[in-house]
Structure 1
Amino acid sequence: MKEINTFSEYLADDSRVTPEERQKINFEVELIGKMIEAREKKGYSQRELAELSGVKQPAIARIESLKSTPQLDTLLKVLAPLGYTLSITPIKEK
Protein backbone atom coordinates (compact mmCIF):
# COMPACT_ATOMS: atom_id res chain seq x y z
CA MET A 1 0.00 0.00 0.00
CA LYS A 2 1.17 3.47 -0.79
CA GLU A 3 2.00 5.96 1.95
CA ILE A 4 -0.84 8.29 2.94
CA ASN A 5 -0.01 11.75 4.31
CA THR A 6 -3.33 13.56 4.31
CA PHE A 7 -6.99 12.80 4.86
CA SER A 8 -7.68 13.78 1.23
CA GLU A 9 -5.19 11.17 0.04
CA TYR A 10 -6.77 8.58 2.33
CA LEU A 11 -10.27 9.45 1.13
CA ALA A 12 -9.22 9.21 -2.52
CA ASP A 13 -7.57 5.79 -2.09
CA ASP A 14 -10.01 3.17 -3.45
CA SER A 15 -8.15 0.41 -1.60
CA ARG A 16 -8.97 2.04 1.75
CA VAL A 17 -12.34 3.75 1.23
CA THR A 18 -15.22 2.30 -0.76
CA PRO A 19 -17.30 4.57 -3.00
CA GLU A 20 -20.19 4.17 -0.56
CA GLU A 21 -18.04 5.20 2.42
CA ARG A 22 -16.69 8.15 0.44
CA GLN A 23 -20.23 9.24 -0.43
CA LYS A 24 -21.30 9.00 3.23
CA ILE A 25 -18.29 11.01 4.42
CA ASN A 26 -18.80 13.69 1.78
CA PHE A 27 -22.50 13.92 2.65
CA GLU A 28 -21.79 14.32 6.37
CA VAL A 29 -19.14 16.98 5.75
CA GLU A 30 -21.48 18.93 3.45
CA LEU A 31 -24.49 18.57 5.76
CA ILE A 32 -22.68 19.63 8.91
CA GLY A 33 -20.96 22.44 7.03
CA LYS A 34 -24.37 23.78 5.98
CA MET A 35 -25.63 23.42 9.53
CA ILE A 36 -22.72 25.48 10.89
CA GLU A 37 -23.20 28.04 8.14
CA ALA A 38 -26.91 28.36 8.98
CA ARG A 39 -26.18 28.71 12.71
CA GLU A 40 -23.60 31.42 12.08
CA LYS A 41 -25.90 33.22 9.63
CA LYS A 42 -28.60 33.34 12.30
CA GLY A 43 -25.99 34.66 14.75
CA TYR A 44 -26.52 31.81 17.21
CA SER A 45 -23.83 30.42 19.43
CA GLN A 46 -23.82 26.69 20.04
CA ARG A 47 -25.27 27.40 23.48
CA GLU A 48 -28.14 29.45 22.01
CA LEU A 49 -28.87 26.74 19.45
CA ALA A 50 -28.88 24.21 22.28
CA GLU A 51 -31.49 26.21 24.17
CA LEU A 52 -33.67 26.58 21.08
CA SER A 53 -33.38 22.97 19.95
CA GLY A 54 -33.34 21.10 23.24
CA VAL A 55 -30.09 19.38 22.23
CA LYS A 56 -27.24 19.87 24.71
CA GLN A 57 -24.41 22.18 23.67
CA PRO A 58 -21.69 19.49 23.99
CA ALA A 59 -23.68 17.30 21.59
CA ILE A 60 -23.88 20.16 19.08
CA ALA A 61 -20.12 20.69 19.44
CA ARG A 62 -19.47 16.97 18.76
CA ILE A 63 -21.71 17.09 15.70
CA GLU A 64 -20.08 20.25 14.35
CA SER A 65 -16.58 18.84 14.83
CA LEU A 66 -17.64 15.60 13.08
CA LYS A 67 -16.75 13.61 16.19
CA SER A 68 -20.18 12.04 16.24
CA THR A 69 -22.89 11.32 13.72
CA PRO A 70 -26.24 12.57 14.98
CA GLN A 71 -29.34 10.45 15.10
CA LEU A 72 -32.02 11.61 12.67
CA ASP A 73 -34.29 12.98 15.42
CA THR A 74 -31.39 14.97 16.92
CA LEU A 75 -30.49 16.40 13.54
CA LEU A 76 -34.10 17.45 12.91
CA LYS A 77 -34.25 19.14 16.35
CA VAL A 78 -31.09 21.12 15.60
CA LEU A 79 -32.12 22.07 12.06
CA ALA A 80 -35.64 23.31 12.94
CA PRO A 81 -34.59 26.51 14.78
CA LEU A 82 -32.25 27.24 11.88
CA GLY A 83 -35.18 27.13 9.47
CA TYR A 84 -34.20 23.86 7.81
CA THR A 85 -35.33 20.27 7.55
CA LEU A 86 -34.16 17.24 5.59
CA SER A 87 -35.69 16.02 2.38
CA ILE A 88 -35.15 13.27 -0.12
CA THR A 89 -34.40 14.35 -3.66
CA PRO A 90 -34.06 12.18 -6.73
CA ILE A 91 -30.63 11.58 -8.18
CA LYS A 92 -30.23 13.30 -11.51
CA GLU A 93 -29.67 10.88 -14.35
CA LYS A 94 -26.49 11.37 -16.30
Structure 2
Amino acid sequence: MGNYKTFDKMFNDDKIVSPEDREQINFQVSLIGKMIKAREKKGFSQRDLATLSGVKQSVIARLESMKSTPQIDTLLKILAPLGYTLSITPIENKQ
Protein backbone atom coordinates (compact mmCIF):
# COMPACT_ATOMS: atom_id res chain seq x y z
CA MET A 1 0.00 0.00 0.00
CA GLY A 2 3.01 2.30 -0.07
CA ASN A 3 2.46 5.49 1.94
CA TYR A 4 -1.14 4.65 2.73
CA LYS A 5 -2.09 3.71 6.27
CA THR A 6 -5.59 2.51 5.36
CA PHE A 7 -7.31 0.94 2.40
CA ASP A 8 -9.88 3.76 2.46
CA LYS A 9 -7.20 6.42 1.91
CA MET A 10 -5.72 4.45 -0.98
CA PHE A 11 -9.15 3.70 -2.50
CA ASN A 12 -10.07 7.39 -2.38
CA ASP A 13 -6.84 8.59 -4.03
CA ASP A 14 -7.70 9.56 -7.61
CA LYS A 15 -4.15 8.65 -8.68
CA ILE A 16 -4.74 5.02 -7.64
CA VAL A 17 -8.47 4.54 -8.31
CA SER A 18 -10.19 6.88 -10.74
CA PRO A 19 -13.49 8.45 -9.70
CA GLU A 20 -15.21 6.47 -12.47
CA ASP A 21 -13.73 3.17 -11.28
CA ARG A 22 -14.59 4.01 -7.67
CA GLU A 23 -18.18 4.74 -8.67
CA GLN A 24 -18.43 1.44 -10.54
CA ILE A 25 -16.93 -0.53 -7.64
CA ASN A 26 -19.26 1.13 -5.14
CA PHE A 27 -22.24 0.39 -7.38
CA GLN A 28 -21.30 -3.29 -7.71
CA VAL A 29 -20.75 -3.66 -3.96
CA SER A 30 -24.12 -2.03 -3.26
CA LEU A 31 -25.94 -4.10 -5.89
CA ILE A 32 -24.53 -7.42 -4.71
CA GLY A 33 -25.14 -6.46 -1.08
CA LYS A 34 -28.80 -5.76 -1.83
CA MET A 35 -29.10 -9.02 -3.74
CA ILE A 36 -27.68 -10.98 -0.79
CA LYS A 37 -29.97 -9.14 1.64
CA ALA A 38 -33.02 -9.91 -0.54
CA ARG A 39 -32.05 -13.59 -0.79
CA GLU A 40 -31.58 -13.88 2.96
CA LYS A 41 -34.83 -12.00 3.65
CA LYS A 42 -36.68 -14.59 1.54
CA GLY A 43 -34.91 -17.31 3.51
CA PHE A 44 -33.31 -18.74 0.37
CA SER A 45 -29.96 -20.47 0.32
CA GLN A 46 -27.81 -20.00 -2.74
CA ARG A 47 -28.91 -23.47 -3.81
CA ASP A 48 -32.60 -22.52 -3.42
CA LEU A 49 -32.06 -19.40 -5.51
CA ALA A 50 -30.19 -21.42 -8.13
CA THR A 51 -33.12 -23.80 -8.46
CA LEU A 52 -35.65 -20.98 -8.72
CA SER A 53 -33.62 -18.83 -11.11
CA GLY A 54 -32.06 -21.46 -13.33
CA VAL A 55 -28.63 -19.98 -12.60
CA LYS A 56 -25.99 -22.36 -11.24
CA GLN A 57 -25.26 -22.08 -7.52
CA SER A 58 -21.56 -21.66 -8.28
CA VAL A 59 -22.37 -18.58 -10.41
CA ILE A 60 -24.41 -17.09 -7.56
CA ALA A 61 -21.54 -17.80 -5.14
CA ARG A 62 -19.01 -16.09 -7.43
CA LEU A 63 -21.28 -13.05 -7.76
CA GLU A 64 -21.90 -12.82 -4.03
CA SER A 65 -18.19 -13.05 -3.27
CA MET A 66 -17.45 -10.37 -5.89
CA LYS A 67 -15.25 -12.75 -7.86
CA SER A 68 -17.18 -12.05 -11.04
CA THR A 69 -19.28 -9.27 -12.49
CA PRO A 70 -22.88 -10.20 -13.31
CA GLN A 71 -24.19 -10.11 -16.84
CA ILE A 72 -27.52 -8.29 -17.10
CA ASP A 73 -29.45 -11.40 -18.21
CA THR A 74 -28.02 -13.42 -15.30
CA LEU A 75 -28.84 -10.67 -12.84
CA LEU A 76 -32.42 -10.47 -14.12
CA LYS A 77 -32.83 -14.25 -13.71
CA ILE A 78 -31.54 -14.08 -10.14
CA LEU A 79 -33.57 -11.04 -9.14
CA ALA A 80 -36.94 -12.30 -10.47
CA PRO A 81 -37.50 -14.99 -7.77
CA LEU A 82 -36.48 -12.42 -5.17
CA GLY A 83 -39.24 -10.08 -6.37
CA TYR A 84 -36.93 -7.51 -7.95
CA THR A 85 -35.92 -6.24 -11.36
CA LEU A 86 -33.52 -3.66 -12.71
CA SER A 87 -34.51 -0.19 -13.75
CA ILE A 88 -32.84 2.90 -15.09
CA THR A 89 -33.26 5.93 -12.87
CA PRO A 90 -32.03 9.48 -13.26
CA ILE A 91 -28.94 10.49 -11.32
CA GLU A 92 -29.79 12.99 -8.63
CA ASN A 93 -28.18 16.38 -9.01
CA LYS A 94 -25.22 16.42 -6.60
CA GLN A 95 -25.03 20.22 -6.37
Question: What TM-score do the two structures reach when normalised by structure 2?
Answer: 0.91
Q: Does 1-10 or 23-32 show the bigger shift?
A: 1-10
Which residue number corresponds to residue 86 of structure 1? 86
Percent identical:
68
Residue 23 of structure 1 pairs with residue 23 of structure 2: yes
Which residue number corresponds to residue 37 of structure 2? 37
Q: Output aligned runs, 1:65-84, within 5 Å.
A: 65-84=65-84
User: Offset of 1:6 from its aligned partner?
Assistant: 4.4
Match of 1:13, SS state, is coil
* CA–CA distance in structure 1, aligned partners of residues 65 and 5 of structure 2: 21
Which residue number corresponds to residue 49 of structure 1? 49
Q: Output aligned runs, 1:2-17, within 5 Å.
A: 2-4=2-4, 6-17=6-17
1:46 partner amino acid: Q
Change (3 A) 1:55 1:12: same
Change (3 A) 1:6 1:77: farther
Match of 1:15, SS state, is coil
* CA–CA distance in structure 2, aligned partners of residues 64 and 19 of structure 1: 24
User: Offset of 1:14 from its aligned partner?
Assistant: 1.0
Aligned residues: 94
- Structure 2 portions without partners, runs of 5+: none
- Structure 1 portions without partners, runs of 5+: none
* CA–CA distance in structure 1, aligned partners of residues 41 and 88 of structure 2: 24
Question: What TM-score do the two structures reach when normalised by structure 1?
Answer: 0.92
**Where has structure 1 moved over 6 Å in runs of 4 or more?**
none
User: Offset of 1:92 from its aligned partner?
Assistant: 1.5
* CA–CA distance in structure 2, aligned partners of residues 11 and 48 of structure 1: 35
